Structure 1
Amino acid sequence: MTGASRPHPDHRRSDRAVAATDGPARPGRPPAGAGPGRNADQIDHQADAWLVGKAQLGSIEAYEVLIRRHRDRIHRIALRMLGNRDDAEDITQDVVIQVWTALAGFAGDSMFTTWLYRIVVNRCITHLKRRRHDTPLEDPDLARSPGADAQAEARDRLRAALAALAGLPADQRAPIVLIDIEQLSYDEAASILGVSEPTVRGRLSRGRRQLAETMREWT
């Protein structure tokens, strides 16, 4: 099976088609063992692995379930990396298609999430290199906050922090997004970025210092 012969999943079908069904190349039932007492992360990774296996056999429904499990984080990472909601949505859509076409080559040597987020970050870094000017990061909740006028200082502080993040080099911004914002481990962030853990720690430390310096007037 090759990427060229695989039909593209309809990534806009967020809630329509994903009831579990029996039969070949369909999502079927989730892996057993999701009862009380099991480690939630382990169960999630097992479920991902199971869905990946089904999707590699050609199940678009399984792939839609898989993407629905991770789409919010894909978009959050892209938004924090790029600072623009439209760009983040474009990257999210591109990642959905790229992962589908590349999934046959995923051998399971790492967690699916590590492989997935590496694709997201790499797409974002490529986009940043092509973009002439960074735009200030948007707060995804700011526009929807009721009584925003009464929260001017908090709003300005948040915008300053997001603008400071946007001003960091991509190699420092990525560890902050993955570790400080998305709460991933140093080890997983290193795997996603394709560098050693000490390198991640060094980049994170430099990025934090730069953010602290930029935000000093707000402390």
Structure 2
Amino acid sequence: MSPQSERTEPGSLDAAADEWLIGKIRRGDSDAYEELVRRHRDRIYRIALRMIGNPHDADDIAQDVVLSLWTTLTGFSGNSRFTTWLYRVVVNRCINLIERRPEHEPLQNPDVPIAGADAEAEAKQAALAALAAIGALPPDQRAVVVLVDIEQMRYQEVASILNVTPATVRGRLHRARRHLLYSLRDWA
């Protein structure tokens, strides 16, 4: 066997571990459920926070997804990776919350560690402007910016999460970036 054939695709071990845990959860193993939650809770929260912008709402969404995971796993057919299905659930809940709001709320709470009071104040203002610009994006564009630019996911993975084509992801990302450039032109 050649060394190349022994290599595993990045993330395949994580996907295999998820599948194994899901099998145990479906047989009623609560320890497996706790492990699956532990493996994904931080990213669920990060995606929700970056989509919603409000730490309290993001925490509510993350808790809701985690609590409902036990029963919603019946909706996971295994046709895609578990993470694709899970992040689709998170993004859809965020979009539902965004669309229920009468107006967009500005994203908040940028953590910008910079030395010097003037530099820190300017960096925080720039971060707030960027968060406001992201928060003003339509939900479909905001989702691709969060998943591609912030979470560093591949177009194909984002396309699977959003149930669109990779070309649609590229188009939305292009429009979002163009909007962000225009919105943040004073900060350049």
TM (norm. structure 2) is 0.90
Instruction: Tell me whether 1:196 sits opposite 2:152 in the alignment.
Output: no
Aligned-pair identity (%):
55
CA offset at residue 148 of structure 1? 7.4
Deviations along 1:83-137, one digit per CA (max 9) or x if unpaired, are: 1110000000111122211112322110000000000000001111111222211
CA offset at residue 147 of structure 1? 6.3
Contact 2:48–2:90, Cα closer than 8 Å, also in 1: yes
Task: Detail structure 1 runs of 4+ shifted over 6 Å in the superposition.
Answer: none
Instruction: Tell me whether 1:76 sits opposite 2:46 in the alignment.
Output: yes
TM (norm. structure 1) is 0.78
Q: What is the distance in 2 between the residues matched to 1:117 and 1:60?
A: 21
CA offset at residue 163 of structure 1? 0.7
> 5+ unaligned residues in a row in structure 2: which ranges?
1-5
The answer for the alignment partner of 2:155 in structure 1 is: 186
Instruction: Tell me whether 1:89 sits opposite 2:59 in the alignment.
Output: yes
The answer for the alignment partner of 2:3 in structure 1 is: none
Instruction: Tell me whether 1:167 sits opposite 2:140 in the alignment.
Output: no
- Judging by fraction of residues, say which structure has more helix: 2
Q: 1:57 aligns with which of 9, 27, 34?
A: 27
What CA RMSD, in Å, does the superposition of the two structures yield over aligned residues?
A: 1.8
> 5+ unaligned residues in a row in structure 1: which ranges?
1-35
Which aligned pairs between 1:102-141 and structure 2 lie closer than 5 A? Answer: 102-139=72-109, 141=111
Structure 1 window deviating more from structure 2 (114-123 vs 96-105): it is 96-105
CA offset at residue 139 of structure 1? 3.3
